[in-house]
Amino acid sequence: MRAIVQTLTGWGVAGVFLLAALDSAGIPIPGGVDALLVVLAAAAPAGAYFGAAAAIVGSAIGSMFLFYLARKGGERYLEARTASGRAARFRIWFQRYGLLTVFIPGILPVPLPLKVFVLSAGALGVRPAAFLAVILAARVPRYLGLAYLGAKVGENSLEYLKQHAWHLAAIAAALFAVLYLALRVADRIRGGRLAAEPS
Structurally, how many domains does the chain consist of?
Answer: 1
What confidence score (pLDDT) does residue 159 get? Answer: 73
What confidence score (pLDDT) does residue 183 get? Answer: 67
pTM of the model: 0.79
What confidence score (pLDDT) does residue 59 get? Answer: 95
Ramachandran region, residue 44 (left: φ > 0; alpha: ψ -120 to 50; beta: rest):
beta
Greater pLDDT, 30 or 71: 71
Give percent of the chain above pLDDT 70. Answer: 82
Residue 85 CA, chain-centre distance (Å), reads 22
What confidence score (pLDDT) does residue 26 get? Answer: 83
Quote the CA–CA distance of 104 and 53 in Å, as a whole number. Answer: 20
Give whole-number Cα distances, 72 to 49, 60, 68, 88, in Å. Answer: 34, 18, 6, 20
Greater pLDDT, 107 or 178: 107
* pLDDT tens digits, one per residue of 79-131: 766 666 666 777 777 877 788 888 888 888 776 778 888 988 888 888 999 99
* pLDDT tens digits, one per residue of 22-66: 989 988 777 788 888 988 888 888 889 999 999 999 999 999 999
- Mean pLDDT score of the chain: 81
With cut-offs at 50, 70 and 90, classify the pLDDT of residue 71: confident
- Domain span holding position 114: 2-196
Give percent of the chain above pLDDT 90. Answer: 23
Q: Are 101 and 94 in contact (CB under 8 A)?
A: yes
What confidence score (pLDDT) does residue 192 get? Answer: 60
